[in-house]
Amino acid sequence: MARRTALIVGADDPADSIAAGLEAASWDVHRLADDDQEWTDTTIAEALPGLDRADLVVHARYPAPAREPTLLMDLSAEDWHQRADEPLDAAIRVARCAHPLLAATSGTIVFLVPLMASAGGEGFAPMATAAEGIRLLAKSLAKTWGHDGIRAHAITLDPTAFLERSIADGMAEANSLHDPPLGRIPDLENEVAPIVAALTSDDFTALTGASLVVDGGLWMPG
Amino acid sequence: MSTPTPPPPPLTGLLDGRVAIVTGAGQGVGEGIAAAMAEAGAAVVIAARRAQTGEPAAERIRAAGGTAIFVRCDVTDRDDVDQAVQSSLDQFGRLDTMVHNAVSPPGPPRQIQEVDDQTIELQIATSTTASFHCAQAAFPHLRTDHGSLILLTSPAGIEGSGNLPLYGAVKGAQRGLLKSLAREWGPEGVRVNAIAPVAWTPAMDVATAANPTLEARLKGRTPLQRIGDPMADIGPVAVFLASPLSRHMTGQTLAVDGGRYLGL
């Protein structure tokens, strides 16, 4: 059986761990990980020479400045651009470039978003802005790309998947009145990557537009 | 068949002595909100990009007995937003509510890979960048007396949009912002909420004219079986969010759409 192809977009975790988990499961993994420059369609296309199909695209691109806590009143216009507008714009461009790759395989695109997207986060207004926009982009793509055979999902992860531990500490408590029911925050490589891979399998062909929360049960919205 | 929906009760007095800025208030939902807030007693700054719509909107409020001024404001320009805030302070001495409603037209239905670069840039600039401008410019004044920020989002920002995927993304982005600001500003007594309306607007007029079956389909999927009126249906909800009646609400999105979206 031919190896399945995945494109992982974004540097650092959770992208690194998801890539490692997929490689361990024998996926042919390609990376697009230069987060520190502004992305255009050309940037993305030039970074993917020869890649004309993908079974899976995982988006987890949140540039380093977006992961630093800063109150809104302390942000400059350039800060806002780097942390909110540019990451949202880049995600839209990634989706545009991913469409032909996924249409070639009836593939799946998965957007990884931090809990702050749907729950808010003090000091993370720009990251939450970009991430909630990206989560809604996933739903919109599911609605528009279904007829091309492409499925789209978002997976919400605990803040520790995106932030330094010292920064993330306390954010879970701010959003939840209980400890993780499963006793731990999921391990990205060994517990989240298999879920991402499973979403591409024939067992999940009826599922699209899902917003899954994979955090061990800390946040149970809706 | 039900009887026609009765008009809402008078809003008189709910916002007496208060001052609001409403962006994109030259027409549509923005004008409806501005008119309702004026009816409720607020002095209103009509912040609109075009004087051709903004000045007449302010005049209609004054003709109805309300207090309103027009300020030219492109919400993508921080200096313009600062000037709108300064005009509020100069003319009325305070600012209690900032309503960010303006958004560039999303254009015709099309897939994300078909959307041109300029539309992407404008949608982000008027939705997320402008929300940042409005929030940051208003906050020092909102916190002096339990003020509030109101963002106009959309059901598309809650459930996504098959017709306008870009619009769904930028409207969802505003909801990420409001929840974080609710956390940041709550201790200062400033509330941040959003309205997701479905109402008759110039954009809706264009969409229904272009697609003759759209109005009937939309009404058919709406439990209250009609499309909202900007002043009578959306305006009072903005008045509620600006008033002390909602003093224990922050970080919330109210879908004011006749019940079309029932996912929450």
Tell me, yes or no, if B134 comes closer than 8 A to chain A by beta carbon. no
* CA geometry: angle B32, B125, B154, nearest 5 deg: 45
Query: Residue A68: which of A164, A203, A187 has the closest Cα?
Result: A164
Query: Residue A118: which of A14, A220, A10, A8 has the closest Cα?
Result: A220
Q: Which residues contact B27 (CB under 8 A, 6 or more apart)?
A: B53, B57, B201, B202
Three-state DSSP class for residue B35: helix
CB contacts under 8 A, A 29-68 vs B, are none
CB contacts under 8 A, B 87-116 vs A, are 111-113, 115
Q: Report CB contact under 8 Å: B170, A139.
A: no
Q: Which residues contact A129 (CB under 8 A, 6 or more apart)?
A: A84, A88, B128, B131, B173, B174, B176, B177, B180
Q: Report CB contact under 8 Å: A143, B162.
A: yes
- Residue B106: what pLDDT? 86
Alpha carbon A161 to its chain's center: 10
Confidence of residue A10 (pLDDT cuts 50, 70, 90): very high
Chain B: residue whose CA lies nearest to A81: B129
Give the closest of B173, B183, B251 to A132, CB-based: B173
A128 vs A176: CA distance, rounded Å: 17
A151 vs A104: CA distance, rounded Å: 13
ipTM, interface predicted TM-score of the complex: 0.96
pTM of the complete model: 0.96
Residue B240, φ and ψ in degrees, nearest 5? -55, -45
Rg (CA), chain A: 17
Find residue A28's DSSP bridge partners: A5
Q: Report CB contact under 8 Å: A89, B181.
A: no
A175 vs A178: CA distance, rounded Å: 9
Residues A120-142 pLDDT 10s = 999 999 999 999 999 999 999 99
Residues B75-96 pLDDT 10s = 999 999 999 999 999 999 999 9
B104-140 burial, b at 16+ Cβ within 10 Å, e below that, comes to bebbebbbbbebeeebbebbbbbbbbbbbbbbbbbbe
Tokens of B264: 């929450």
Tell me, yes or no, if A145 comes closer than 8 A to chain B by beta carbon. yes
Is B261 a catalytic site residue? Answer: no
Per-domain residue ranges for chain A? 5-213
Give the alpha-carbon dihedral of B184, B93, B30, B223, to 10 degrees: 60
Rg (CA), chain B: 17
Helices (H), B98-225: 117-124, 130-142, 156-159, 165-185, 202-210, 214-220
Residues A139-175 pLDDT 10s = 999 999 999 999 999 999 999 999 998 888 777 667 6
Distances (CA, A) of B178 to A7, A153, A174, A214, B149: 32, 23, 16, 23, 9
Chain A: residue whose CA lies nearest to B132: A80
Residues B23-37 pLDDT 10s = 999 999 999 999 999
B221 vs A218: CA distance, rounded Å: 35
Residue B75, φ and ψ in degrees, nearest 5? -65, -10
- Residue A212: what pLDDT? 96
Residues A178-200 pLDDT 10s = 778 888 889 999 999 999 999 99
Contact of A59 with A112, CB cutoff 8 Å = yes
B164 vs B9: CA distance, rounded Å: 35
CATH value of A5-213 in 2.40.30.10, 3.20.20.70, 1.20.120.160, 3.40.50.720: 3.40.50.720
Confidence of residue A31 (pLDDT cuts 50, 70, 90): very high
Q: Report CB contact under 8 Å: A131, B176.
A: yes
- For chain B, domains (ranges, CATH) are 19-253 (3.40.50.720)
Q: Report CB contact under 8 Å: B169, A143.
A: no
Mean pLDDT for all residues in chain A: 92
Sheet holding B253-256, edge to edge: B67-72, B43-48, B19-23, B97-100, B148-152, B191-197, B253-256
**Residue of A76, A124, A132 to mutate, testing the B interface (most B Cβ within 10 Å of its Cβ):** A132
Q: Cβ atoms within 10 A of the Cβ of B259, count?
A: 13
Tell me, yes or no, if A135 comes closer than 8 A to chain B by beta carbon. yes
